[in-house]
Amino acid sequence: MTQPPPADMTLQRSSRDPVEMSAALRSWLADVLPAGADPDVTVHAGVDANGMSSETVLLDVTSTEHGERVTREYVARVAPAAADLPVFPEYRLTDQYDAMRLAGELAGVPVPRVGLNEPTGDVLGTPFFLMERLEGVVPPDVLPYTFGDNWLYDAAPDQQRALQVASVEVLARLHGIPDAAERFAFLDPAVTGHAGATPVERNLSKTRGWYEYALAEGSPRSPLTERALDWLEAHVPATDEAVLVWGDARIGNMMYRDFAPVAVLDWEMATLGPRELDVAWMVFAHRVFEAISGMLELPGMPDFLVEADVVATYRDLTGVELGDLTWYQVLAAVNWNCVFLRTSARQIHFGEIEEPDDPESVFHHRPLLEQLLREVGA
């Protein structure tokens, strides 16, 4: 059985030195900002509460603008160094930058304004971009919001409902962008060599490639993952839909004020494909936290982000009747397997956990995936 997550789930994401990072950014900004800006950079601690992939670094930049010293607050999204065991096979930071910018412009969803983009890796060793720092609260991943003692868990039912509806509306707006296949062609998995006749087939190929990358980087084989992949490949949905898919469509990747989204974050998994990819991911992510809460005999939030409610809200907002989400939830579970294979390798690398005897014990959602596979006869 999958073991409950440790009480301290904080993950080390980087071995970078903040002082060296500040100096490198200061030197870079002195070249790219207008003459006389005389920039100074203060790097604060990274964002550790949520997310497991890119480095997210808070920083202040003080520079001279029109004769006045002005301090602006930024967030830097930085691709991880190879030595820090990246989660993904590749980090296309410029694609993330463009996806965020276009999503804000074309769908009216709240995304931070993006600033300077450094695609070469010459400054920090890997590419990065800057975006504005916004104020708001995020449903915690560490420890999961379903565990209690946090602002979302303690909210009134009508406030939780308002957040749920507003979050589904973000997906509806993103999926409603016209001509997405052309406008976001750079996100098609075919661009990175993933084959398939339809976008959903190419996304499945991308997931298979992610698992194979994990193995190539030293992660152990996972019979459960391979069993699920075999079933997915034998039952690909018959659709050629290609909308903008956020990819990591979790409420933990949104920032809220008054239970309404003010920032849609973390675009590493953005792609083109059927809208069910996002809706199933949102539902499944909550199911994972519910499953962990149940294992620990905690009450959880069983009436929140229920699949039937989410699907009904999506239909009310869009007029679109979604297809069955089972296949997409199995795919989501396999993607989570890949995440946990890589993050556990990172934890072992940084000495945070011992290498487990059962490599699949790091899949905190393992019972949920096993249940899904039983239900489909796989």
Q: How far apart are CA 84 and CA 349, in angstroms?
A: 8
The dihedral region occupied by 85, where left means phi > 0, alpha psi between -120 and 50, and beta the remainder, is left
pLDDT band for position 53 (cuts 50, 70, 90): low
Counting residues of the chain whose pLDDT is more than 90, the rounded percentage is: 83
Quote the pLDDT of residue 267: 95
**pLDDT, mean of residues 266-272:** 96
More confident of the two residues 84 and 323: 323
Contact in structure between 26 and 41 (CB atoms under 8 Å): yes
313: helix, strand or coil: helix
pLDDT digits (tens, 9 = 90+) for 92-147: 999 999 999 999 999 999 999 999 999 999 999 999 999 999 999 999 998 999 99
Contact in structure between 327 and 232 (CB atoms under 8 Å): yes
- Give the domains, in start order, of the chain with CATH numbers: 18-132 (3.30.200.20), 145-375 (3.90.1200.10)
**Residue 70: what residue type?**
V
Contact in structure between 119 and 94 (CB atoms under 8 Å): yes
Q: Which of 59, 68, 77 is nearest to 38 (CA)?
A: 68
Would the pLDDT of 82 be above 90? no
Q: How far apart are CA 361 and CA 227, in angstroms?
A: 16
| Angle, CA 177 vertex, CA 174 and CA 183 arms, to 5° | 110
Q: How far apart are CA 154 and CA 151, in angstroms?
A: 5
Active site residues: 248
Contact in structure between 16 and 24 (CB atoms under 8 Å): no
Q: Which of 139, 133, 91 is nearest to 267 (CA)?
A: 91
pLDDT digits (tens, 9 = 90+) for 303-323: 999 999 999 999 999 999 999
Q: How far apart are CA 184 and CA 275, in angstroms?
A: 14
Quote the pLDDT of residue 49: 40
Half-sphere exposure of 185 (CA within 13 A, CB side): 3
Alpha helices in the chain (DSSP H): 18-32, 93-107, 157-175, 180-183, 199-216, 223-234, 276-295, 307-318, 326-349, 366-375
Query: Which range, of 116-120, 181-185, 337-341, 347-351, averages the lowest pLDDT?
Result: 347-351
Which structure tokens are listed for 195?
Answer: 């084959």
Contact in structure between 192 and 255 (CB atoms under 8 Å): no
Quote the pLDDT of residue 4: 41
Would the pLDDT of 13 be above 60? no
Q: How far apart are CA 265 and CA 44, in angstroms?
A: 19
pLDDT digits (tens, 9 = 90+) for 154-198: 999 999 999 999 999 999 999 999 999 999 999 999 999 999 999
